[in-house]
Amino acid sequence: MAPPPAAATILPPAQRHRGYWAGVGRRLLRDRVAMACAAVLLAILLAALLAPWLGLADPYRGSIARRLRPIGFTTPQGFTHWLGTDEQGRDMLARLVHGARLSLFLGVVPVVNAFVIGSALGILAGYAGGKVNMAIMRTIDVFYAFPSVLLAIAISGALGAGISNSLLSLTIVFVPPIARVAESVTTSVRALDFVDAARASGAGAFTIIRVHVLGNVLGPVFVYATGLVSVAMILASGLSFLGLGTRPPEPEWGLMLNTLRTAIYSQPLVAALPGAMIFVVSICFNLLSDGLRSAMDVKL
Amino acid sequence: MKLGLLAGVAGIALAAMTAAASAQGTLRIAMTAADIPKTHGQPDQGFEGNRFTGIPMYDGLTAWDLSSADRPSVVIPGLATEWAVDAADRTKWVFKLRPGVKFHDGSAFDADAVVWNVEKVLKQDAAHFDASQVGVTASRMPTLRSARKIDALTVELTTSQPDSFLPINLTNLFMASPAHWQKLFAAAAGADAKAKAAAAWTAFAANASGTGPFRMERFVPRERLEVARNAEYWDKARVPKLDRVVMLPMPEANTRTAALLSGQVDWIEAPAPDAVAQLRQRGMTITANAQPHVWPWQFSFVEGSPFADRRVRQAANLCVNRGEMKELLAGLMEPAKGTVPPGHPWWGNPKFDIRYDPDAARKLMGEAGFSKAKPLTVKIQTSASGSGQMMPLPMNELMQQNLADCFFKVELDVIEWNTLFTNWRRGAKDETARGAHAINVTYAAMDPFFAMARFLDSKMAPPVSNNWGFVNDPEFDKLVAEARSTFEAGARDAALAKLHARSVDEAVFLWVAHDVGPRAMTARVKGFVQPKSWFIDLTTVSMQ
């Protein structure tokens, strides 16, 4: 897990309010790797959102007579399967693009959920301190005792397969690390002079959290959370691969990888496509997160 | 000195040559199981267990004829030479035992050994009773109750009700050596007799003794089992040609294929259908033969299930394109028209012809009140993998597509294989079924109890056995009872044929495929005959 930024680098809101985000944006735009990754992700996201209007084949209907065709295969009727067909004879391009919807959804939504829940818990624990901190953080430590993959499989196994259960299990997996980051940043912010000053001038706990704590805490937690999207995607694909996530016939990259894996000897390139997509998207999320982290670190 | 050295070298060379001349080689097999099936005589891991750690190392009183690829595999004498039911009391059977048979430890096989082996799973207060062996054994011979010695080579077996299936069921009870176990028991450590017995069984599994054509040589749990030729095997025609067989667990089909292609093993079970072309290209032999195996959807008849309506069940049977399914599996299946294929003694000429006829299916669905505008949503519980399940996800996806043409909206509830198998015993009313209207668990059909009785008899409803969907039809109950109590083979087959024909007419299952048990091996493997069975005979195999 990434260490939270040191307290010393966090500046009071009054000084950094103007110009900070503009600076972050400027630094990010100069980062070529991060920008390339953002472009790839944007393209995939747009394709996923616009999938029904792109004129692709039906991702649910195939023809066994045309199963496992190579990349660029053209049918006698003149339809070209640009990325070949899968084991049921369905168009791989259509399946991959439609699959992006579910795979991105399963990568992003649990992290957003965990970001909201984890930040709230972490800030509460960090700001309140004492017994509240003890109760929240030790409970979270229990979840920490299990490796994330094992925890996700255990929860999904107990709840059963399905998209909503995958979302729930991945959310539970990501709440503890996010809460921990939020708690450590909050604890360091809470001890700073401007918080004492706000308290001395009569501000209530809610105002202090909203004005002074949130602004300082959400940035680092956000950066950390973007890095988790790739992990979430891989875990979600893993659950589907094991039959614990998405159900057939939904196109989802992990599930496609499972059903295509036995074709590795007859159509290796086609069989590798879902895995390649998972790899490209997760590495792009990781590199973009790294770029964001560098851009937000004012010491650089 | 020099001369002595020379003589020594010559001696070693001669010894090596002699060994090479008698050696018929070592066969290395990759199994689909994730672990070595239990080796103490009652294997787990389904019938793959019986195939690899049962039949090669042990014998039962009765056995399967595995010698022909063309004839159906039937029950033949094993350690019993003949048997008969008591004409006056049909719950009593007399089995005559084969004389002169010895266990691998040298002790004699006799009536005491048979009684001891029945009691290991049925007599709870016996010193050697082992609860861990009961699950896989008692459910396969549900009516056997006790055994009694009449003389050294005659035993009497008693069943709870007249049951003509007993000799078939007994192929599942393998004879382990009592003398060898007793020796291990005496040496075992444990606080009380029960703990000592458990320790003795563990020791027995690592150092087993049966009467089979192969004896255990080396056992590394989860890694490998090596068995060696038993030159003193009682059936001289079946003394193994091989010196040694090494069995390795490899649950993943791609791993097995890679292991075969790279020369790590000589033989793999169940190659992935899509790898078969590549394997053939590389000079591997692919063997396959129809098996008494069924890949079905087992319907729920409980209140509220749409499959309680026969028209819906028949429509589903007519809407699956089994030709496409065969193509999906690269030809490695036989389309199913019932639990047994036409021509089988139990076939019985049903009136309902299972075929691909979507028009007829749509007509039936229309009569049942469903249409394109008002489709029927059904939920099917299945697994992503599992022994005998073939390729469950792609196969179910194809059915989902096929059935959509006949107004079915199929939802798949994919759960883990062992969980699915457990749910199968709990039934459609249990909460673990999660409201499913059918369950997709494959079954063995070589034995009338396995093939039909456990699914059609209302007394076999959960938790007793696998009547998952609570089929409750007095006519089926009557036909099962009739078959069970008919002891003459021809008449029994006729009774079973009536039962089978009615099950097809009532479309109790959605029958999809019979597995053909594909296996791939290098060209060096010679003499293998793949029978129409789940089991195989390794004694005929040699390595070139």
Q: Which tens digits make up the pLDDT trace of B208-264?
A: 999 999 999 999 998 999 999 999 999 999 999 999 999 999 988 889 999 999 999
Asked if B133 and B75 touch (Cβ cutoff 8 Å), the reply is: no
**What value does the mean pLDDT take over residues B454-481?**
93
At position A16, the amino acid (one-letter code) is R
Measured over the CA atoms of residue B298, residue B303, residue B305 and residue B310, the dihedral's sign is positive
Of the listed ranges A127-136, A216-225, B111-120, B332-341, the least confidently predicted one is A216-225
Distance of alpha carbon A5 from alpha carbon A298, whole angstroms: 10
Taking the C-alpha atoms of residue B131 and residue B142, their distance in angstroms, rounded to an integer, is 15
* Lookup: tokens for B467: 């009547």
- Do the Cβ atoms of A113 and A167 come closer than 8 Å? yes
d(CA B172, CA B163): 16
Residues B274-299 have a mean pLDDT of: 93
The pLDDT of residue B169 is above 50: yes
Estimate the crossing angle of helix A214-241 against helix A253-260, to 10 degrees. 20
Q: Which of A106, A148, A111 is nearest to A225 (CA)?
A: A111
- 3-class DSSP state of B227: strand
Q: What would the mean pLDDT of B28-50 be, rounded to a whole number?
A: 90
Alpha-carbon Rg for chain A, nearest whole angstrom, is 23
CB B259 within 8 A of CB B497: no
Distance CA B58, CA B74 (A): 18
Query: What confidence tens digit (pLDDT) does each residue in B492-516 have?
Result: 999 999 999 999 999 999 999 999 9
DSSP 8-state assignment for residue B237 = G
CB-based contact A173:A233 (threshold 8 Å): no
Question: H-helix or E-strand containing A9?
Answer: none
Q: What is the pLDDT of residue B17?
A: 44
Contacting residues for B307 by C-beta, under 8 A, at least 6 apart: B299, B300, B301, B313, B316, B378, B437, B438, B469
- Which residue's entry shows tokens 């382990």? B176
**8 Å CB contact between B117 and B173:** yes
Output the CA–CA distances (angstroms, integers) from residue B252 to B275, B457, B519, B535, in the order listed.
13, 36, 14, 21
Residue type present at position B330? A
Specify the 3-state DSSP secondary structure of B247.
strand
Angle at B509 between CA B329 and CA B49, to 5 degrees: 60
Record: contact B254-A259, CB cut-off 8 A: no
Task: Spell out the per-residue pLDDT of chain A, length 300, in tens.
Answer: 444 444 445 555 555 555 778 888 899 999 999 999 999 999 999 999 999 999 999 999 888 888 899 999 998 888 999 999 998 899 999 999 999 999 999 999 999 999 999 999 999 999 998 999 999 999 999 988 888 889 898 888 888 778 899 999 999 999 999 999 999 999 988 888 888 898 899 888 888 888 888 888 888 898 899 889 989 988 998 888 887 888 888 899 988 998 898 888 889 999 999 999 999 999 999 999 999 888 887 553
d(CA B474, CA B495): 15
CATH H-level, domain A98-296: superfamily: MetI-like (1.10.3720.10)
For Cα atoms B2, B5, B8, give the angle at the middle one, nearest 5 degrees.
150
Give CA torsion, residues B417, B421, B422, B428, to 10 deg: 110
Tokens read off for B495: 């009774």
Contacts of B384 in chain A (CB under 8 A): 242-243, 258
A-B CB pairs within 8 A amount to: 83
Contact A80, A71 (CB under 8 A): no
CA distances (Å), origin B256, targets B42, B285, B430: 26, 15, 37
Q: At residue B44, does pLDDT exceed 90? A: no
Q: Cβ contacts of residue A191 below 8 Å, gap of 6+?
A: A7
Q: What is the pLDDT of residues B422-457, one digit of tens each?
A: 899 899 999 989 999 999 999 989 889 989 999 999
Query: How far apart, in whole angstroms, are the C-alpha atoms of residue B31 and residue A275?
Result: 27
B414 pLDDT tier (thresholds 50, 70, 90): confident
Question: What gap in Å lies between CA B293 and CA B339, rounded to an integer?
Answer: 8
Contact B63, B74 (CB under 8 A): no
Work out the pLDDT band at B416, boundaries 50, 70, 90.
confident
According to the model, what pLDDT value does residue B4 have?
Answer: 53
The vertex-A20 CA angle with A18 and A22, nearest 5°, equals 90
Please state, in angstroms and rounded to a whole number, the distance separating the CA atoms of residues B337 and B355: 7
Mean pLDDT of all residues belonging to chain B: 92
Distance from C-alpha of A63 to C-alpha of A81, rounded to nearest angstrom: 13
Least confidently predicted of B4-8, B146-150, B517-521: B4-8
Q: Check residue A248 and give its pLDDT.
A: 83
Give the distance from residue B409's alpha carbon to the nearest chain A alpha carbon, in angstroms. 12
pLDDT given at position A262? 83
Distance CA(A167)–CA(A105), nearest Å, equals 9
**What is the rounded distance in angstroms from the CA atom of residue B422 to the CA atom of residue B329?**
27
φ, ψ for residue A220 (rounded to 5)?
Answer: -60, -40
Q: Give me the residue from B253, B273, B327 closest to A64, CB to CB.
A: B327
For range B373-399, the mean pLDDT: 90
Task: Tell me how far apart the alpha carbons of residues A176 and B445 are, in angstroms, rounded to a whole number.
Answer: 51
Angle, vertex CA A279, rays to CA A276 and CA A280, nearest 5: 85
By Cβ distance, the residue of A67, A68, A242 closest to B384 is A242
* pLDDT score, position B64: 96
C-alpha distance across the termini of chain B, in Å: 40
- B82/chain A closest Cα distance in angstroms: 47
Q: B267: helix, coil or strand?
A: strand
Say if residues A132 and A126 touch (Cβ distance below 8 Å): no
Quick one: pLDDT at residue B290?
87
pTM of the model: 0.81
The closest CB to that of A248, out of B327, B396, B434, belongs to B396
Q: Of B20, B17, B25, which Cα lies nearest the Cα of B527?
A: B25
In the Cβ-directed half-sphere of B473, how many Cα atoms lie within 13 Å? Answer: 19
How many angstroms from the chain centroid is the CA of residue A126? 24
Amino acid A8: pLDDT: 47
Residue A52's pLDDT is 92
The 10 Å Cβ neighbour count of residue B303 is 8
Chain B residues with CB under 8 Å of A153 CB are none
**Chain B residues within 8 A (CB-CB) of chain A?**
253-254, 257, 272-275, 277-279, 321, 324, 327-328, 383-385, 391, 393-394, 396-398, 400-401, 411-416, 419, 434
Contact B429, B302 (CB under 8 A): yes
Chain A interface, best mutation among B276, B320, B414, by max A CB count within 10 A: B414
Q: What values do phi and psi take at A188, rounded to 5?
A: -75, -35
B167 to chain A, closest Cα gap in Å:
40
Residues A108-134: b if buried by 16+ CB within 10 A, e if exposed: bbbbebbbebbbebbbbbbbeeeeebe
- The tokens 């002790």 sit on which residue? B107
The answer, for A222 touching chain B at a CB cutoff of 8 Å, is no
pLDDT of B10 reads: 52
Beta bridge partners of B83: B95
Residues found in chain B: 544
The ranges assigned to domains in chain A are 98-296
Q: Which residues contact A162 (CB under 8 A, 6 or more apart)?
A: A245, A246, A247
Q: Do B275 and A265 touch (CB under 8 A)?
A: yes
Q: Which two tokens stand for residue B345?
A: 């003694």
Distance CA(A77)–CA(A54), nearest Å, equals: 20
| Residue A64, min C-alpha distance to chain B (Å) | 6
Confidence band, pLDDT 50/70/90 cuts, at residue B489: confident
Q: Are the beta carbons of A244 and B257 separated by less than 8 Å?
A: no
* pLDDT value, residue B361: 97
Confidence of residue B100 (pLDDT cuts 50, 70, 90): very high
Which residue is it, tokens 């006698």? Answer: A76
Chain A nearest CA to B329, separation (Å): 10
Tell me what the mean pLDDT of segment B170-197 comes to.
Answer: 94
Exposure of B477 by Cβ count < 10 A (0-12 exposed, 13-18 middle, 19+ buried)?
middle
